[in-house]
Structure 1
Amino acid sequence: MVAEETDDAPAAVRSLLAAGVDAFACFGPLDATVRAARQLAAAGFDGPRWMQHLLYGSEFPRQAGAAGEGWYVVTAAVDATALKTERARAFTTAWRRLHGSVPGPYAAEAYDTARMLLAEFARTVPARGGHRPKRAALGGRMAKATYTGVSRGYAFGDFHEYHSDNQGWSDNTFVHQVRDGRFVQRGSLTDLQRAAEA
């Protein structure tokens, strides 16, 4: 445990290595995680290494370089290129055609959010007159909206929170690993649990 806004992380890493840990999790900001990655690599530590979910899609692979190889992150963000559904394939194909590259981190979520918002916006505009809807009316519609996106369905609970049951949460939470300087999706928590049980 390292106190926030202190720089005693190197001492903490040394202490953990001296204690013989066989896995390491760093939930600090980018710069602290990069320093930890370098320190672990210099010590020859090759056990599982985990970073916080906010670092998915960050500059971690580039900044950490070789020291960042093999690090894991768990997040609800999906790499659409790793999915086998028709919806994900269509999204990836359209993205490649438009941008000349594979979809980057959070591309599917951004696409789904924009499409869901535009769909509800269109439903809120009166059929005649075409006046812009009141913000409150659109907000009310969004809270009741359901939408099927690239990788998941979207629905909201009584308090406008994202609604997902335990199975949905497991199906839509993904493990990514840094490989060859980029984040590579290894599967959902459900996929990995099934693999472990096989």
Structure 2
Amino acid sequence: MLKALYRPGRRYTDEELREKAREIFRELGRFPSRLEWARRSGVHAVTLMNRFAPDEVYERFRFRRAFARAVFGDTLEEKALAAIRRIAKELGRPPGAATYMKERLPWEPEVQELRWYFGSYQEAVRRAGWEPRGPRRRDYAEDELLAVLRDIGPKARYKDVMARKREDPRVPSPATIRDYFGSWKKALEAAFPELREKRRR
């Protein structure tokens, strides 16, 4: 469907893409979905991602990061990380979102801007070199992590595990499972070795 919404063969400059992103951001007052971006800009989302977020690790954050970089530029990242580190140094610990808003200086980014740019406030804190504050994370045995996926099935998705965790806080988060195995794909292959065999054929 996306292919029908953009014109192949047209190579946009970085500045042209930035202007399209800023215009859409002004119109919507928020970040667009990939489909909204394609419809409004006439440019495939992959083009924006390849240009402004070629190094993003997690695919689900990649479009948001690319759009944020197009709108705000890399200066927002520098200001955000510097602000978090400054406040953390003053407090002796990483600030939560509410504390950040209370302690930030007028010219430093707001929490919502950090969420737009990094995907979440917690990710911004991690990029600044701190582990976000919150309940102490439990260490899970590998068998416990695999059991969650096996209980759902070989088509288990990130949001499926999150739904289980909402029902039972003792269930490991999908991020814990993903980080333990290195990727969601590797986690599923560890739980269901037959998936690895299918991909080899």
Q: TM-score, normalised by structure 2?
A: 0.29
Which structure carries more relative contact order (alpha carbon 8 Å, separation 6+)? 1
Relative to its length, the structure with more strand (as a share) is 1
Q: TM-score, normalised by structure 1?
A: 0.29
Relative to its length, the structure with more helix (as a share) is 2
Q: Which has the larger radius of gyration?
A: 1
